[in-house]
Structure 1
Amino acid sequence: MKHPLSNIVAEIQKQERKLSAETSSFIDEAYQMTVYLQELLSTVKEDILKEGFSDKNEEIHFFKQVKPNILGKLIYYNKVFRIETACPADNGNLHQNYFSLQLCNLKDEYTEHVCNSDFYRYYRSGRTDRDEQYFTLGNINCYDGLNSFVFEIDTKFSTYFDYKIAKIIANELIYNYLTTKLSPEQNPDVLLQHEETKDFFWTQTKNALIELIYALYASDTLSHGKIGIRKISMVFQILFRISLNDIHNSFHRMKTRAGSRTLFLDQLKYDLEEYMDKEEKL
């Protein structure tokens, strides 16, 4: 296959890293990723329409794995761009309430259209017995009571259910994004405060934590670099019960610091070496 899943994922991650380092705001990053993914999807579509598939297995793999990963990210970045460009400018209650409402809307959509569907259960269970029906062209069945969107898709480049998987992928990404925007008080069902970790909290500055998060992300230290900066951020917010609002802008401010741009990491290195020296003297 000309566009294997591993190559597509690596290509998208490379572009995400590039724009994360170059753009001045998450709005700009989301916009440029939307344009990039739209062009990528268009290129892949041209290739598929021109070359087709070698067999059913390749076709199923494309519509179950490859296309949904591109389209899912495209839906996600486009949604984030719309959310960011419409949100209140301040970081007060109005700002937090806006993101709380977005999260509620996402949960309502999930409850109404996703979690109770037969296809969602099929996909989540990892089944493959109906893959040929769901992920090969020309099998759309109107008797299933499908969403009206099905009549607008290009039936030469969609089985309809590839779009359903893309929506699942997008919704999970949007959920992670929204939870990083909310403080623990605004989103207690996600940022749980466990009894056994109540005395475990971050005592350095928020900028220091953001510096550490970006260092772990840039070095591919976590999950071989396969998870995004905002998911890493969410994990640290949960772990330390701390709210990091716009880590992207904070990071870009770090890049223009006078003197060292890695103050916290420099201090960590100094403290560790000093501790090692003390240990040697004992």
Structure 2
Amino acid sequence: MKYCNRVVANLERKLQTLNSQTDNVFEEIELGVFHCKKALKKLRLKVITENFNSPVIESHFFKMIKPKPLGYLIFYLSLAEFELCRPQTIKKTKKYIEEQIQKYQEYFLEHKAFYQYLERNRKDRDSEYFLRSHGVVKFHPDALQYCVDENFSSSHDLIVAKIYAHKLLIQRLTTELNTLNDAKSNPREEPIPNMQWTRAKSDLIELIYALHETGAINNGNTDIKDLATLFQRTLNIDLGPYYRTYIEIRSRKIKKTKFIDLLKEKLQKKMYDADEQVK
């Protein structure tokens, strides 16, 4: 069980890093699906080659462990479907988001009794829901996985995974909807001046990481992905795979922070020259 917990923990670390460092949503989805499938393959191999020590451990696995990578996989596949069908206008996008959130919430109502069982942390029916030998096949599409791969499925672990995925989707879409609503209620009074970054991309990436580490923006309650998006849009530049560039910056033998050092040097010189003029 420790091995399975490590697999899931490693997956979550990778997905968290992926979300903060990937600017292209389809790149995020592609890599997310890859990591989820890889984690599920590891878990499946472990389960079918080694038996569980007790029914309690088995039910815990299908209730608490497997649904996480499976839920993330459903999340990314659903997100891909959402992005492919995304409308072109803000008004239609907002309506589409609201419809999708409603659809995901309806799944909770469809499985209301079981959802309440999970939310209340009950365990009295775990053997019925999460032991492979006790699975009750219902006439519902969510029973398909149990019928196809009963060695690595219980009758209800897919439902748990979908509930987990739908919570992630609702959270993500609600955040975007709030952003769209805020943008409409707080229109800019003046247009943003057209700015262009004219130094090397690595210089800007160095600056972005420095700002992130100092917590200079939003009291540090932001991530690299958001900062990179902000500067790319504001300064009309595509930074490309900026995390890879950051790794290259870290590997410098001399002056890892050469651009920040240059900023300090230039500002100090300006102040010195100004002081000399008033003497």
Q: Normalised by the shorter chain, which TM-score bucket?
A: 0.5 to 0.7
**2:71 matched residue in structure 1:** 72
Structure 1, residues 51-87: CA drift from partner, whole Å, max 9, x if none?
Answer: 1212222212211111011111111111112211221
> Identity over aligned residues, as a percent?
23
- TM-score of the superposition, structure 1-length normalised? 0.62
Structure 1 counterpart of 2:94, which letter?
Q
**2:188 matched residue in structure 1:** none
Higher share of residues assigned helix = 2
Structure 1, residues 143-168: CA drift from partner, whole Å, max 9, x if none?
Answer: xx441441443111111211111111
Contact 1:103 1:175 in 2 (8 A): yes
- 1:217, distance to aligned residue in structure 2 (A): 5.5
Is 1:131 matched up with 2:129? Answer: no
- 1:49, distance to aligned residue in structure 2 (A): 0.4
Contact 1:63 1:135 in 2 (8 A): yes
CA distance in 2, matches of 1:85, 1:212: 32
CA distance in 1, matches of 2:119, 2:20: 34
**1:239 matched residue in structure 2:** none
Helix, strand or coil at the partner of 1:3: helix
Structure 2 counterpart of 1:216, which letter?
N
CA distance in 2, matches of 1:17, 1:124: 24
The structure whose Rg is larger is 2
Is 1:18 matched up with 2:49? Answer: no
Q: 2:221 aligns with which of 216, 224, 227?
A: 216
Structure 1 counterpart of 2:172, which letter?
Y
Contact 1:56 1:136 in 2 (8 A): yes
Contact 2:62 2:130 in 1 (8 A): yes
- 1:29, distance to aligned residue in structure 2 (A): 0.5
Q: 1:110 aligns with which of 96, 108, 111?
A: 108
Structure 1, residues 79-125: CA drift from partner, whole Å, max 9, x if none?
Answer: 112211221345x21222222222222233333x13x3x22221111
Structure 1 counterpart of 2:27, which letter?
D
CA distance in 2, matches of 1:102, 1:120: 19
- 1:42-53 alignment runs, 5 A limit: 42-53=41-52
Structure 1, residues 223-250: CA drift from partner, whole Å, max 9, x if none?
Answer: xxxxxx9xxxxxxxxxxxxxxxxx5872
- TM-score of the superposition, structure 2-length normalised? 0.63
Contact 1:26 1:248 in 2 (8 A): no
Structure 2 counterpart of 1:120, which letter?
Y
**2:140 matched residue in structure 1:** 147
- 1:173, distance to aligned residue in structure 2 (A): 0.6
Gaps of 5+ in 1: 188-204, 220-228, 230-246, 261-282
Q: How many pairs align?
A: 208
Contact 2:67 2:160 in 1 (8 A): yes
Q: CA RMSD in A?
A: 3.5
CA distance in 2, matches of 1:52, 1:95: 48
Contact 1:19 1:29 in 2 (8 A): yes
Q: 1:175 aligns with which of 160, 170, 173?
A: 170
**1:250 matched residue in structure 2:** 229
Gaps of 5+ in 2: 183-191, 193-210, 243-258, 261-279
Helix, strand or coil at the partner of 1:42: helix
Are the structure 2 counterparts of residues 148 and 86 from structure 1 closer, same or farther at C-alpha, using a change threshold of 3 Å? closer
- 1:33, distance to aligned residue in structure 2 (A): 0.3
CA distance in 1, matches of 2:72, 2:114: 20
Contact 1:37 1:74 in 2 (8 A): yes
Structure 1, residues 248-271: CA drift from partner, whole Å, max 9, x if none?
Answer: 8725728949x77xxxxxxxxxxx
CA distance in 1, matches of 2:42, 2:62: 15
CA distance in 2, matches of 1:17, 1:148: 30
CA distance in 2, matches of 1:126, 1:24: 37
Are the structure 2 counterparts of residues 39 and 97 from structure 1 closer, same or farther at C-alpha, using a change threshold of 3 Å? same
- 1:38, distance to aligned residue in structure 2 (A): 1.2
